[in-house]
Amino acid sequence: IYLLSQNGGELRHEFTPTGIAYDLRIDGKLVAPAPSAETALVKGAASSQHRRGILIRPDTTHAPAGKYTDRLTLVIVGD
């Protein structure tokens, strides 16, 4: 399983360059998605079920109001 992040693991504001970092974990392991590059998440796993968790890292009280997004694409390749 590979992951591609449109914004390199950062939630980006819809109208400004402001970004909010987040932590992504797959099966408890921290994943650092890179922009325009696939990040390997799981290789040769015996299970077809995986847990994921997302944690917004910084204090967002001073972040501009609005919509923040990051598009995550999972690429699943069978052996």
| Per-residue pLDDT reduced to its tens digit, 58-74 | 889 999 999 999 999 88
pTM: 0.77
| Domain locations along the chain | 2-75
Give phi and psi for 21, each to the nearest 5.
-75, 150
* For residues 32-55, average pLDDT: 78
Using CA atoms, how far apart are residues 68 and 70, in angstroms rounded to an integer? 7
Structure tokens at 33: 């998605």
Determine what percent of the chain is predicted with pLDDT higher than 90. 41
